Structure 1
Amino acid sequence: MSQDWNGQWRQQALPGLGAQPWDLIVIGGGISGAGILREAARRGWRCLLLEQRDFAWGTSSRSSKMVHGGLRYIAKGQWRLTRDSVRERQRLLQEAPGLVEPMSFLMPHYRGKFPGPKVFGGLLTLYDALAGRRNHCFHDAVHLRFLAPGVKEPGLLGGTSFLDALTDDARLVMRVLAEARADGAVAINGLRVTRLLRENGRVCGVAIEDSETGAVQTLGCAALAVATGAWAERLRPAQAPRQLRPLRGSHLLLPGWRLPVAQALSFMHAEDGRPVFVFPWEGATVVGTTDLDHRDDLDQSASISQEELRYLLAACAQQFPQAQVSAADVLSTWAGVRPVVAGAGGEQQGKPSNETREHVLWQEPGCVTLAGGKLTTFRPQAIEVLQACGAMLGRNVEDDGEPVFAPQAPVDIPGLSAAQVRRLAGRHGRDLPRVAQRVAELGGDCVGASDTLWAELAFAAEAEMVLHLDDLLLRRTRLGLLLAEGAAQYLPAIRRLCQPRLRWDDARWLAEEQRYRDLWQRHHSLPPVTD
C-alpha cells in the first residue's frame, strides 16, 4: 500500500475497512473529531475517522482563528469554560509553536463608553488569575496612538492590552490528525455516513457512501463518536429534541497594507455593542465577526451576506475612520457556522451572542454525540467523549495530561529563515523532514505575497489527502483566501507543480479548476448585491 496519505492510498484502503474490528469510529473531520481520534489512538484503540467532505471543511477552517480563553465568558459566569480555555491555550502555545502563536490584543476605552478601563481591568485580573500569570497592562492615550495608529481619536482615554493567541485552524486539524495516524489511527475524507446500524437497541456500526464514486458499504464498531458540529442532529433518533442553534460568523480579509495593524484590536460595535476584532493574520488583516442565526442549507458552504458586509465595513469606519476601507479593498471573505447548543427546540428568541458556548454530550447505547464546544478546548472535550465511550466498553479513560503533539527534533532547512522554519514546523510537525526535502528540491520561494512556499503546495498534493482543488487552496494552504481572486493568476503555475503529483489528467484538472472558481465566487468573494 502507498506510504503517502493521498488519493491512491485511499483507493487501496477503502475495500478493507469493513473487515476491521474497530473499537471506535469517529464521524466528523473537524477539530473535535480529530481530537477524539488522537486521544483514542494514543490509548491504543483501533479507531477510524470518517469525514463526508474534507478535513476541516466546516467550522474548523472558517473560525476566527483565535485560540483564546474566552474573556467574554467570565462576564457570563462561565467559570469552568474560561478556566479550561486559558489552560488549553497555554498548553497549545507550548506544544505547537509556529502554529499557535501569542498575539497581543488591545481594547481602546472612550469617555462614557463601555467598557471603562477599571471594569475591563477587573475582568482581566480574573482572566489572568485563571491563566496563572499577569498578561494585561493599561496604556494612556499618547501611548495607544503609537500602538494603534489611525485609531478613532474623539474621547479616547487609552487602552488595555492583554494576551491571547492565533492559529491556522485548518492546519491545526491536520496536525492533530497526523498525530493520530502516527499512533495507528485511520482517517479518510469523502465518506458520508448515511445511517447508523443498530442491533438489539444498540448502535453497532454505520452505513457509508463514497462521495467520489457512490460505492456503499457497512462498517461495524464497538462504539461510535459523532462530532459533526452543526450537523450533529442529523444522525440522532427522530424522537430526540432539536437543540442546536446554528449561528453564522462572517469575516473580511483585507491586504495587510490596506489596514495595517501590528496587534489585534478589540472594540464594541456602535450598532449593537458586540465585540468586533481587527487583527493581523498570515500577512493580511482580518475583520470579524458577526453573530446571527444561520437559516441557509447546512449542506452548502456558508457565505457572508450583504448586511454582514455592511456591518463589518461599518466597524472599520467606526474604529479607523481615516483608512476609509471599502468593499473594493476586500481580498476574500469566509463564513463559519457555530454549533451552539440552545434549549429544546433549538432556536431561541434571545440574542445569538447571549447563547452559551458550553458543550454537551448526547448518549444512546453504543453512541456518544458531542454538541457545541470550542476549538480551544478540543482536547478536554475529546477526553470527555472517550470517557463516555469507555464506560460503554468497560474501559477506564483518565486525563493523564499527555501532550497532543509529540516533541519533534529540530530540522535545519538551508535557505530559509528561522521564522520560516518555525512556521513550517508548526504547520507540519512530524512531516517537517519531508517538507524540507521538497524545499531542497524546489527552493524556498513563496507563492506571490503569501508566506506559503511552493514546496508546501507540492507536499500537500502528494501526501495530505487532497481530493479536490479547493482542499488544496482553501484548507491545506490558505492561498485561495490570501491572494487576489482566489489566487487565480497563479493557477497555471499551481497546475504545472501539482497536477502530476495529484495524478489528475487534463480533463480532471480543468473540471476541478472550474469547480474551484465557481465555489470561490459563491462563498469567498463579495456577496451579490440585492435590492
Structure 2
Amino acid sequence: MSQDWNAAWRQQTLPTLADETWDLIVIGGGISGAGILREAARRGWRCLLLEQRDFAWGTSSRSSKMVHGGLRYIAKGQWRLTRDSVRERQRLLDEAPGLVEPMSFMMPHYRGGFPGPRVLGGLLSVYDALAGRRSHRFHDAQQLRYLAPGVKESDLLGGTSFVDALTDDARLVMRVLSEARADGAVVVNGVRVEHLLRENGRVCGVQIEDCEAGATLQLRCCMLAVATGAWAERLRPTEAPRQLRPLRGSHLLLPGWRLPVAQAFTFLHERDRRPVFVFPWEGATVVGTTDLDHREDLDHSASISGEELDYLLAACTQQFPGAEVTANDVLSTWSGVRPVVGSAAGNLQDQPSNETREHVLWQEPGCVTLAGGKLTTFRPQAIEVLKACADMLERPFVDDAAPVFAAVPALAIAELSNQQWRRLAGRHGRNLLRLAQLIKNIGHETVGATYTLWAELAFACEAEMVLHLDDLLLRRTRLGLLLPHGGEDYFTAIRQICQPRLGWSDAYWQQEIQRYRALWQRHHGLPDATP
C-alpha cells in the first residue's frame, strides 16, 4: 500500500488504470462500496474503486452515526435484518474499538404513552435474544431524574435503557478503504463514470471522466459492482423499473454544554409519533432525525429545510423543556439521503418511515447493483454482492467470516491518554505508526475544544487523498461540523499546517476557502428562511 495516497499519487495513477483488465470495478465510495472492495481485495481479486466526488460524500458521512440492530424493525417483522444487524454491531464493537463504541440508550415512559415499559421490555427481550446478551433495564421515575436531569417530568413513569453503538461514519469508510488498499486494491476519488461499456449483451467496463482535469478513459473489467446509494438507478438500463425512494434525514448539532446528555435518548415525537434521538457525539449533542421524501436534485448536497429545523427544535422542547433550545444554539446541521427501496414501486402515499430498510441486488450480465441496506450490515451486504459476482464468473466463493479490520499496533505516547489512543487507533488503524510520528513532530494539541489533533489534519493532507477543503474539514475530520461557523476562526492555523502538505498555491487556497464557505452555509448552516 502506497504511503503517499494523495493528489500527486492520483495524478500519476489515473492514466495507468486502463493498462489492465480488472477482476472487479466498484463504483461508489460510501460504506457499501468500501465493504465490497475490502472483501474482494482480501480474496486476491484485482480490484478498483471509483468515487465521483469524495469518499463518504453522500449518505455515509451524513447518517445518524448509529451502529444498531434497529429495534423498530422487530415490530415490523423484519427478523433477519435485526438479527444480522445485532451480530454485525457486535463484530464492529469487537474489531474496531475507538471507532465503534457502545452507547446506552434510554427511552422515557409517560402515563398513557406508548410504548409502555412492558411492551418495550418485551421487544427488548427479543432484541437481546437475537444479540445473545441481555442489556435492557427499567429505571423508575426517581432513578431516571438522577440519570437524566432536565428530562420532561410531567406524568413520568420511568425509563428503559438498552445498549447499542455509535461511530464516526466517515472515518469508518476511510478505515475500511485503508484495509482494502493494504490488500492491493486501488482507490480513486474525483472520477465520474459516464456510462457502462457493453459487449455481446454483457457489461465489460466503464468510461470515466477525471472531474479534476477533464480527461476521459475507458476501463475494462470482468465484473462491475455498483454501490452508489441513492444514485444506484442512474447506471441501470433505461428499461429497468425505477424502485428507489430517496428519503432525507436531517440533524442538528448543538454544543455539548447547551444540551448536556450522558447517554442517548430516544422518544416518539408528539407531532407524528416517529422516533427521535438526542445523543452525545464528539463532545457535542446531536438531535435527529427526520424522514421525508427528498425531491431535490440528487447531484446537489441535501440541506435541512425550515420545516425540519422546527421539527427537531420542537423535539428538544418536548423532551428537555427547561433547556429552551433555539435555532441560535445550533452549531451546524447535516442532511443525508437514504437509499431506500420503495415497497410499492414508487407509491409515495405510504409514510416514509414505513418503508423497509432491507437491501436488494439488481443483476445483469457482468454487473451487480446493490440498492438499499444499512450502514451496520455493510459486511454481509458486500458478501452477497461478491457471491453474485463470483457466480457469474463461475468462481468458488465462501464467506469465511474473516475480520474486516487488521489488528492495530500497540503504541503509547506519554502526552496522550489511553482514551485518546483508543480513539486514534479506531479511526486510523494501520496508519497509527505514521500518525504517531506526526504527533511527535507537531505536538499533541487538539483543535479548539474538539477531540481532533492538529496532527490528524496533517496526516489527512499527506496520505488520505484530500482534493478539496471540504474533504478535509467535513469527512477526514469533522471540524467543519464541530467548530463554530464551520471552523472560520481556525482557517489561518489550518492553512499553516495544511497548505504546504497539499501543495496548493495561495490563489488555489483562497479559491478553496471561498468554495468551502459557500458550501458550508448552504448545506451545513441554518435554512435561509431562519432569521
How does the TM-score come out when normalised to structure 1? 0.99
Partners of 1:343 and 1:159 in 2: CA distance: 34
Q: Which residue of 2 aligns with 1:379?
A: 379
Partners of 2:456 and 2:17 in 1: CA distance: 30
Query: Does 1:357 pair with 2:357?
Result: yes
Partners of 1:50 and 1:2 in 2: CA distance: 17
Partners of 2:220 and 2:178 in 1: CA distance: 24
1:319-330 alignment to 2 at 5 Å? 319-330=319-330
Could you tell me whether the CA contact under 8 Å between 2:343 and 2:355 is conserved in 1?
no
SS at match of 2:234: coil
Aligned-residue identity in percent: 78
Partners of 1:358 and 1:451 in 2: CA distance: 35
Q: CA deviation at 1:396?
A: 1.8
Q: CA deviation at 1:344?
A: 5.8
Q: Which residue of 2 aligns with 1:55?
A: 55
Report Cα offsets for 1:248-279 as digits up to 9, x if no partner: 00000000000000000000000000000000
Amino acid of the structure 1 residue aligned with 2:58: G
Query: Does 1:96 pair with 2:96?
Result: yes
SS at match of 2:174: helix
Q: Which residue of 2 aligns with 1:197?
A: 197
Partners of 1:480 and 1:473 in 2: CA distance: 5
Query: Does 1:172 pair with 2:172?
Result: yes
Partners of 2:205 and 2:281 in 1: CA distance: 41
SS at match of 1:311: helix
Query: Does 1:247 pair with 2:256?
Result: no
Answer with 30-39 or 343-352: which moved more.
343-352
Amino acid of the structure 1 residue aligned with 2:211: S
Q: Which residue of 2 aligns with 1:72?
A: 72
Distance 1:530 1:499, change over 3 A: closer
Report Cα offsets for 1:227-268 as digits up to 9, x if no partner: 000000000000000000000000000000000000000000
Could you tell me whether the CA contact under 8 Å between 1:305 and 1:527 is conserved in 2?
yes
Query: Does 1:29 pair with 2:24?
Result: no
Amino acid of the structure 2 residue aligned with 1:16: T
SS at match of 1:297: coil
Query: Does 1:218 pair with 2:218?
Result: yes
Answer with 200-209 or 336-345: which moved more.
336-345
How does the TM-score come out when normalised to structure 2? 0.99
Distance 1:308 1:300, change over 3 A: same
Partners of 2:530 and 2:99 in 1: CA distance: 39
Q: Which residue of 1 aligns with 2:453?
A: 453
SS at match of 1:232: helix
Partners of 1:344 and 1:85 in 2: CA distance: 24
SS at match of 2:102: strand
Q: Which residue of 2 aligns with 1:153?
A: 153
Partners of 1:493 and 1:410 in 2: CA distance: 31
Amino acid of the structure 2 residue aligned with 1:80: R
Q: CA deviation at 1:411?
A: 1.1
Amino acid of the structure 2 residue aligned with 1:123: L
Q: 5+ unaligned residues in a row in structure 1: which ranges?
A: none
Q: Which residue of 2 aligns with 1:515?
A: 515
Q: CA deviation at 1:345?
A: 3.8
Distance 1:530 1:280, change over 3 A: closer
Report Cα offsets for 1:87-113 as digits up to 9, x if no partner: 000000000000000000000000000
Partners of 1:54 and 1:530 in 2: CA distance: 30
Q: Which residue of 1 aligns with 2:280?
A: 280
Q: CA deviation at 1:349?
A: 1.1
Aligned length: 531
Partners of 1:73 and 1:481 in 2: CA distance: 30
Distance 1:182 1:150, change over 3 A: same
SS at match of 1:322: helix
Q: CA deviation at 1:409?
A: 2.2
Could you tell me whether the CA contact under 8 Å between 1:245 and 1:347 is conserved in 2?
no
Q: CA deviation at 1:343?
A: 3.7
Could you tell me whether the CA contact under 8 Å between 1:242 and 1:344 is conserved in 2?
no
Distance 1:14 1:451, change over 3 A: same
Q: CA deviation at 1:20?
A: 1.8
Q: CA deviation at 1:31?
A: 0.1
Partners of 1:201 and 1:273 in 2: CA distance: 49
Partners of 2:114 and 2:442 in 1: CA distance: 53
Q: Which residue of 1 aligns with 2:409?
A: 409
Partners of 2:3 and 2:521 in 1: CA distance: 36
Could you tell me whether the CA contact under 8 Å between 2:424 and 2:432 is conserved in 1?
yes
Q: Which residue of 1 aligns with 2:115?
A: 115
Query: C-alpha root-mean-square deviation of aligned residues, in Å?
Result: 1.0
Q: Which residue of 2 aligns with 1:334?
A: 334
Q: Which residue of 1 aligns with 2:134?
A: 134
Q: Which residue of 2 aligns with 1:6?
A: 6
Could you tell me whether the CA contact under 8 Å between 1:241 and 1:344 is conserved in 2?
no
Answer with 49-58 or 388-397: which moved more.
388-397
Report Cα offsets for 1:472-531 as digits up to 9, x if no partner: 000000000000000100001000110000000001100001000000000000001179
Partners of 2:20 and 2:527 in 1: CA distance: 46
SS at match of 2:273: coil
Answer with 521-530 or 306-315: which moved more.
521-530
Q: CA deviation at 1:21?
A: 2.0
Answer with 404-413 or 382-391: which moved more.
404-413
Amino acid of the structure 1 residue aligned with 2:430: R
Q: CA deviation at 1:414?
A: 2.5
Q: CA deviation at 1:347?
A: 4.4
Query: Does 1:295 pair with 2:298?
Result: no
